[in-house]
Structure 1
Amino acid sequence: MTVVCESSAGWLVDELSLFRKWYQHSTSCQDADHKKNQYGIRGDLFLILRPHIPKQSTPVSLPTVCPETNPTATNQKKKRKRSCAFNQGELDAMDYHKKITDFILEGTQPLIQEGFKKLFLQALSVNDNHSQTEPGLCNNPCQLAELCNMAKSMPLLNFGEHTVLVLESGLYLPQETNVLSCITENKSECPKVIHFIGEKYIIPPKSAFLMSDVSCMEPLLQYKKYNIIVMDPPWENKSVKRSKRYNSLSPNEIQQLPVPALAAPDCLVITWVTNKQKHLRFVKEDLYPQWSVRTLGEWHWVKITRSGEFVFPLDSNHKKPYEVLVLGRFQGTVNSAGRESGISLPPIPERKLIVSVPCKLHSHKPPLSAIGVYGSIFAVESGTKICASLDGATLKIL
């Protein structure tokens, strides 16, 4: 069961169960290779039993002592200089945290208690120690980001030259195959395995993708319109810049993404935002208005351990155990097809919690289809789910 339990505040979600459901044997799947080889995600990727920072080790916010007011402070060893007062960004973050703390605590605890009753969550035993990523867990990191960078060096196709590659059983893609400039589809009820440049990739049933940098999205624009668009932009921050793990996008570059051209009438636009108030304000006050998207709600993903604790203490100054997603509705033109047909769209709740044990892989977000955002909350006129998911490394169509 993907949704373990739900309340008026939100849902407790089993991400691992959903992934296994995507790749399990389907009764309508007639693929001989799939019946012979079953696929699944490793359960230890979601085996987080202890918080990353114990509660007792959480640093307490103390007033900063200035050398001007305390002469003895100059004799102490200084590890790092900082100003005597919090900067505006820190003050904004603390103010935002105060506003949502009660909602997160009061909404999360009943879901966690129900999770224990249903045995999805279990009390921690003394010998359990699998919170950190085990050695060798990610020794073979995904190369999709590098492949997407290759798209920049590929020659651009002219309008009308874009093709769709439909996967066949046991398909091997030679290195010269230009998958970086075309939509690749798996129309079957079974997962498909493709081999490309020495790596193996499993494509979920009834899905398609464009392996591309965000600067090379023309094939997607020629493909179809989307009822739901989910974005996880690579926001600029100092940690990413220091680690050089991936390239980030500036606010101006994010604004240039062709979301209005991809959106169907009344498209639901969902954007993941880091816990930085300037990014949240940018989405609500600049990005969405420019795209003709009306903000509807601000939800929070709350990350917990299998023992029912926050992965970081809620008041930690290091990291917060929650992330923000902003939901909005694409307005488009006044005479959009959705409005002409008189379709009554269900209201989007202003506040909701998605509670789950996170995946250990970097920057992995919970699939929103687990809680019905793609179904019961958003009415799709055609009765099918057409969703474009954009993030910093890959672009997928689900």
Structure 2
Amino acid sequence: MSIICRTDKGWVISHYDYTKKIYTNVLSHSGVIDLTCNKNLFQILTPLMRDQEARNFIKNLSEKEYVLSREVKMKKRPRSASFDHEINIIELALKDLIVEARKNGHLLHSPTEKDYLENNLLARSTADLYVTPHVVYDDCDSQSESSNRDSSFSGGNSSGDPQIAQIRGRSYVIPPNCSFVCSQVENIVKELDGKQFDFILIDPPWWNKSIRRKRAKLSNKGYSMLYNSEIEKIPISNFLKGSGLVGVWCTNAPSHIEAVTEQFFKSWGLKYVATWYWMKVTQGGEAIRPFGSQTEKRPYERIMFGCSGDRRYKNPPPDMCVVSVPSAIHSQKPPLVEVLQEYLPDQPACLELFARYLLPGWTSLGNQVIDLQHLSLYEPSLRTPTT
């Protein structure tokens, strides 16, 4: 299982262990093998810093000057009462969950001076070595007016075992009983017409000026960012069953948080239910960055839930925390499949929009939908022959 432990405040989960669980008995051209996601991607041993910042940290550690200067600087920044309340909830949950995880033999790493100086180099370099197979996505990307919108493609795996498949000349591992559509989400009506789901997970490419400026300097494509009004227009209610649940990954920007509850959910005919927090920690259970102020990057993201009016199942409770070591791949979210089971029917029909990887039993749609299924991200190990 991916769930390491649970308290009344949330869960500690392992993204790595989940991939280890679902990619056994993989059918490949060389026989049946086991796969796991490259473990180096999760070797986050120290909080995230710039390289010079990490060197300064070690240089001044003995005198505590650098640590104290950061803390004092942050305390001077304004924080609203609602923000402080949010931080208190997360810090309290994190403390209890880390204690439980360590009882189970997890999150025990104690960082050394070498760890700080290397500054998560192994995880970062492993992520950098992975090259997104743009050949696939150039064909289904409609960012330019000349793009052929009929070039989207779909696939899946109807068997009970994961498989390695060749898709447009590249190798991907496909989990069992899943389907996918590589297409812009705006094509959802054409691609999924008539289908309805118990749970819809949405990871929108939120509009962000800073990210847009950075991407303008890069040669590789990112997904196309959307304004709030564009996300609101996605016809979610057409694809949600009467007792369905929707989860939206949201940034910490107040404008985006308000858009989910006041625009999206209302337009989709949903009632806001709860907000959960994904707390990102190192292999030693330390927050990947300080909590800081409302204007700084935080060590957590949020997922906001809304439900339809005819909901017959237990709703997610408010203010729960999901703690995990994040992947070094930018913006890769953890799998919440096992955590969400108690809020969904048996064998639920689930859909993810703006997906970047596949999940067993799910339907996934997006123009980067098999991005993180590329075989280069996984480590095979041949099975020991049985006698």
Q: Same fold (TM over 0.5)?
A: yes
Question: Which residue matches 2:374?
Answer: none
- State yes or no: 1:139 paired with 2:129: yes
Question: Which residue matches 2:60?
Answer: none
Matches within 5 A, 1:201-350: 201-222=172-193, 224-244=195-215, 245-315=222-292, 318-331=296-309, 339=310, 344-350=312-318
Task: Provide closer, same or farther for how the CA distance between residues 191 and 19 of structure 1 changes in structure 2, counting only shifts above 3 A.
Answer: same
Which residue identity does 2:141 align to in structure 1? N
Matches within 5 A, 1:1-398: 1-25=1-25, 31=27, 33=29, 35-53=31-49, 56=67, 58=70, 60-61=73-74, 94-126=80-112, 127-128=114-115, 129=118, 131-132=120-121, 133-143=123-133, 145-149=137-141, 153-154=147-148, 156=150, 180-181=152-153, 183-222=154-193, 224-244=195-215, 245-315=222-292, 318-331=296-309, 339=310, 344-371=312-339, 373=340, 375-378=341-344, 380=345, 383-391=346-354, 397=363
Greater radius of gyration (CA): 1
Would the aligned equivalents of 2:194 and 2:239 in 1 still touch at CA under 8 Å? no
User: Deviation digits for residues 256-280 of structure 1, max 9, x if unmatched?
Assistant: 1121111111210000110100100
Deviation at 1:286, TM superposition (A): 1.2
The 1-side partners of 2:243 and 2:264 are apart by 17
Question: Which residue matches 2:383?
Answer: none
Tell me the secondary structure at the aligned position of residue 184 of structure 2.
coil
User: Deviation digits for residues 316-343 of structure 1, max 9, x if unmatched?
Assistant: 6631001111101023xxxxxxx5xxx8
Task: Provide closer, same or farther for how the CA distance between residues 306 and 393 of structure 1 changes in structure 2, counting only shifts above 3 A.
Answer: closer
Which residue identity does 1:16 align to in structure 2? Y
Which residue identity does 1:232 align to in structure 2? D
Would the aligned equivalents of 1:50 and 1:130 in 2 still touch at CA under 8 Å? yes
Which residue identity does 1:47 align to in structure 2? Q
Which residue identity does 2:307 align to in structure 1? R
The 2-side partners of 1:95 and 1:141 are apart by 43
Which is worse superposed, 213-222 or 268-277? 213-222
Higher helix share: 2
Question: Which residue matches 2:53?
Answer: none
The 1-side partners of 2:251 and 2:312 are apart by 32
Tell me the secondary structure at the aligned position of residue 19 of structure 1.
helix
Would the aligned equivalents of 2:127 and 2:328 in 1 still touch at CA under 8 Å? no
Deviation at 1:10, TM superposition (A): 0.3
The 2-side partners of 1:394 and 1:145 are apart by 14
Would the aligned equivalents of 2:45 and 2:111 in 1 still touch at CA under 8 Å? no
Question: Which residue matches 1:67?
Answer: none
The 1-side partners of 2:286 and 2:237 are apart by 40
The 2-side partners of 1:104 and 1:229 are apart by 25
Task: Provide closer, same or farther for how the CA distance between residues 5 and 238 of structure 1 changes in structure 2, counting only shifts above 3 A.
Answer: same
Tell me the secondary structure at the aligned position of residue 284 of structure 1.
helix
Deviation at 1:350, TM superposition (A): 1.6
Which residue identity does 2:44 align to in structure 1? I
Would the aligned equivalents of 1:151 and 1:212 in 2 still touch at CA under 8 Å? no
Task: Provide closer, same or farther for how the CA distance between residues 237 and 218 of structure 1 changes in structure 2, counting only shifts above 3 A.
Answer: same
The 2-side partners of 1:309 and 1:393 are apart by 27
Q: Structure 1: which 4+ aligned runs deviate by more than 4 Å?
A: 31-35, 392-396
Which residue identity does 2:19 align to in structure 1? F
Which residue identity does 1:376 align to in structure 2? E
Deviation at 1:238, TM superposition (A): 1.8
Which residue identity does 2:70 align to in structure 1? T
Tell me the secondary structure at the aligned position of residue 187 of structure 2.
coil
Would the aligned equivalents of 1:211 and 1:394 in 2 still touch at CA under 8 Å? no
Question: Which residue matches 1:83?
Answer: none
The 1-side partners of 2:313 and 2:91 are apart by 30
The 2-side partners of 1:221 and 1:306 are apart by 40
The 2-side partners of 1:45 and 1:352 are apart by 26
Deviation at 1:32, TM superposition (A): 6.9
Task: Provide closer, same or farther for how the CA distance between residues 223 and 38 of structure 1 changes in structure 2, counting only shifts above 3 A.
Answer: farther
Deviation at 1:198, TM superposition (A): 3.3
The 1-side partners of 2:30 and 2:349 are apart by 25
Would the aligned equivalents of 1:194 and 1:200 in 2 still touch at CA under 8 Å? yes
The 1-side partners of 2:254 and 2:317 are apart by 21
Which residue identity does 2:319 align to in structure 1? R
The 1-side partners of 2:356 and 2:211 are apart by 14
TM-score, normalised by the number of residues in structure 2: 0.77
The 2-side partners of 1:108 and 1:154 are apart by 47
The 1-side partners of 2:307 and 2:326 are apart by 27
Which residue identity does 2:34 align to in structure 1? Q
Deviation at 1:313, TM superposition (A): 1.0
Task: Provide closer, same or farther for how the CA distance between residues 105 and 311 of structure 1 changes in structure 2, counting only shifts above 3 A.
Answer: same
